[in-house]
A and B are shown apart, each in its own frame.
Chain A
Amino acid sequence: MNIPIEYYLILSGFMFLVGVAGVLTRRNAIIVFMSIELMLNSANLSLVTFSSYMGNSTGQLFVFFVMTVAAAEAAVGLAIILAMFRNKLTLNIDDINILKW
């Protein structure tokens, strides 16, 4: 514990915003979803950092649940993407425009 907590938090904030930028700029549904996973992981890094510097395991338990949720979302999300692809043969969310975006 000889480096300041800020280093980890800044790395986590950086990854979070890279994830946000990815969601906003990319058009491929799978890459958008992967950017969301990146956002969740940056939050995990913050949680583990705080948990470790506090000596309290609550944050790491939360990370455990975030992973569960990520797995559940990945299952449903990829099923949705698969169903979409079967109908439309594209993953580009700009082409998915029967409904106005």
Chain B
Amino acid sequence: MSLQLILFILFGTISAISSVLMITRTNALISALFLILNFAGLSGLYLTLNAQFIAVTQVIVYAGAIMVLFLFVIMLLKPEHEKYFSHQPKLKIFAFFIAFIVFIQLVFMIFVSHPSQGNNANVAASVKAGTIEEIGKQLYTNYVLPFEAAGYLLLAATIGAIVLAKKKFE
């Protein structure tokens, strides 16, 4: 067993189990904490894939900023516990069943189309692709227009959030 496989199994199990636990908790706060655990597991997976920059951003931006916003809102609103499997239990069983069928199909597709054939794993190229240097260079040369658009997106979202949450009415 190589180190990558051991780490994959470790972080993959954490991510998979925490994702299932997240959608089955009745308390939103505990769900959010499991989602953070899931993000931490994903960050470890990104490291096994040589994506250093994304792994760090995952922790700082996703777990650090976005989820804190979620936790903040949950604490602020103190939502009541929802009764699990209360309304329309048939619908829920149906949803899980469909998800399971689609998952089987997806696994089948992944094995049939052999994505590994087209991707000859080259460790040096893979390490280079994940560095901050490479990503920064791409971001400010080839992808400068998406970068500008992302700036507009954040500005529009800020304005929208302020209008929705703060604007005074007459």
Contact = CB atoms under 8 A, between A and B. Distances in A.
Contact of B74 (A30, A56, A80): A30
In this complex, the interface size class of chain B, counting residues with CB under 8 Å from chain A, is 35 or more
Given A5-B116, A79-B165, A64 B62 contact: no
Contacts of A6: 110-111, 115-116
A91 B103 CA distance: 30
B99 A11 contact: no
A19 to B, nearest CB: 7
B122 to A, nearest CB: 5
A57 B138 contact: yes
Interface residues of A, number: 72
A58 B54 CA distance: 12
Contacts of B150: 65, 68-69
Contacts of B10: none
Given A5-B116, A67-B62, A80 B164 contact: yes
B115 A51 contact: no
A4 B91 CA distance: 36
Given A52-B49, A85-B77, A17 B102 contact: yes
A4 B125 CA distance: 17
Interface string A53-65: 1111110110111
Contacts of A48: 45-46, 49, 51, 54
A39 B45 CA distance: 16
B51 A51 contact: yes
Interface in A1-43: 1-11, 13-15, 17-22, 24-28, 30-31, 33-35, 37-38, 41
Contacts of A34: 22, 28, 31-32, 35, 70
B87 A94 contact: yes
Interface of B: 2, 4-5, 8, 12, 15-16, 19-20, 22-23, 28, 31-32, 35, 38-39, 42, 45-46, 49-51, 53-54, 57-58, 61-62, 65-66, 69-70, 73-74, 76-77, 79-80, 82, 87, 91-92, 95-96, 99-100, 102-103, 106-107, 110-111, 115-116, 119, 121-126, 128-130, 134-135, 138-139, 143, 146, 150, 153-154, 156-158, 160-162, 164-165
Given A15-B38, A52-B126, A53-B119, 10 more contacts: A1-B4, A8-B49, A22-B22, A25-B91, A26-B23, A41-B62, A60-B135, A67-B58, A75-B161, A82-B76
